[in-house]
Amino acid sequence: MSSNALPKPRPSIRPRTVRTRRIAFEYPPERLPRHYIGGDLVMSHIVSVLSSLFPEGEDFFVRTVRNYRDRIDDPELKSQVAGFIGQEVTHGREHRQFNDRLATMGYPTRIIDRLTKYGLGLDEKILPKQVQLAITAALEHYTATLAEVLMSDPEARAMFDVDEVRSMFLWHALEESEHKSVAFDVYRHIGGNEFRRAMVMRFTSLGLVGAIVAGTFLSLLLDRSAYNPARLFPSVGRLRHSPWLRREVLRRLRDYNRRDFHPDDNDATELLAEWKVKLFGAEGALADRMKSPEPDVPGASTAKGREALG
Ligand SMILES: [Fe+2]
Ligand SMILES: [Fe+2]
């Protein structure tokens, strides 16, 4: 490179609110059936596997972004990173608690958690930090895409027929969509290579799909209902019509490989505004859990605030 070559201009960061919400969920044992995802055998195991991957996965996301904290000089991005870290730490804590409950129901959440920790620890030992950050950006594209399916597709939501579980996944989904571009923008901000980003996505997809398939297989092996062909085969068959495996969803996942892709290309502004009201608004499903009111939702308050109002 010649000495007078100008550095590439950094893309500007679109302002967004990434807020760390203080919230906690509780799962009364009598309200959790063994196959808590619409009574569906395989989907209950897949969701449990995903939940088991989250705590260690999200700790990894936080570390890989934190590695570059000192190089982020854009105040907007800096504040988004702080919100991203706060959100992911809270997700990890809430999924750990949920996974403990799943473990008592017979799901192998602990072993999957340990294997995830081992696998991601190995990645951190052997891979360059920029590749680790690209893995986070790729996985964040998966979480945001699946999250937006949950928020936009009533059929997907209908499978979560236990209120507390649906609320927890919707809260997580909303925040995944809210911060979907943060790791991606950090990657671009530090001069991350676009070709490498797409390559890393391919390997990450293989790893993620492999982990979900292997985890689900293991989880099913430990469930006596899975040995009943009348339960197993129809449940496997229903996967073909799963809202998460629609062609449109797969197209959106693949869109990440486009050279000029940005997570905001799939604009979720309206979807987020709608769900903030549905979850945190005055009549919102989670209004009574919030320890502080949601600032940009009209009429939002906390349980304590409403008690004080009588
Ligand atoms: Fe998360
Ligand atoms: Fe995330």
* pLDDT tens for each residue of 199-254: 999 999 999 999 999 999 999 999 999 999 999 999 999 999 999 999 999 999 99
Query: Average of pLDDT values for 80-88?
Result: 97
The Å distance, Cα 240 to ligand 1 centre, comes to: 26
Query: Is the per-residue pLDDT at 305 higher than 90?
Result: no
Query: Average of pLDDT values for 53-75?
Result: 96
Q: pLDDT at position 307, please?
A: 44
The Å distance, Cα 68 to ligand 1 centre, comes to: 19
The Å distance, Cα 282 to ligand 2 centre, comes to: 26
Give me the percent of the chain exceeding a pLDDT of 90. 79
The Å distance, Cα 180 to ligand 2 centre, comes to: 6
Least confident window among 23-37, 102-116, 161-175, 226-240? 23-37
Question: How far, CA to CA in Å, does 138 sit from each of 31, 182, 224, 256?
Answer: 35, 12, 35, 8
The Å distance, Cα 177 to ligand 1 centre, comes to: 9
Q: pLDDT at position 303, please?
A: 52
The Å distance, Cα 233 to ligand 2 centre, comes to: 33
Query: Average of pLDDT values for 63-89?
Result: 96
Q: Helices H, strands E: what count in the chain? A: 12, 0
The Å distance, Cα 39 to ligand 2 centre, comes to: 28
Other CB atoms within 10 A of residue 258 CB: 11
Query: Average of pLDDT values for 166-179?
Result: 96
Query: Is the per-residue pLDDT at 272 higher than 70?
Result: yes
Q: Which two tokens stand for residue 59?
A: 């700790």
Model confidence at 195, in pLDDT bands (50, 70, 90)?
A: very high
* Sheet strands (E) in 74-135: none
Distance, CA of 165 to CA of 287 (rounded, Å): 16
The Å distance, Cα 58 to ligand 2 centre, comes to: 7
Q: pLDDT at position 10, please?
A: 67
Whose structure tokens read 């349980």? Answer: 303
The Å distance, Cα 5 to ligand 2 centre, comes to: 36
Least confident window among 49-58, 139-148, 162-171, 279-288? 279-288
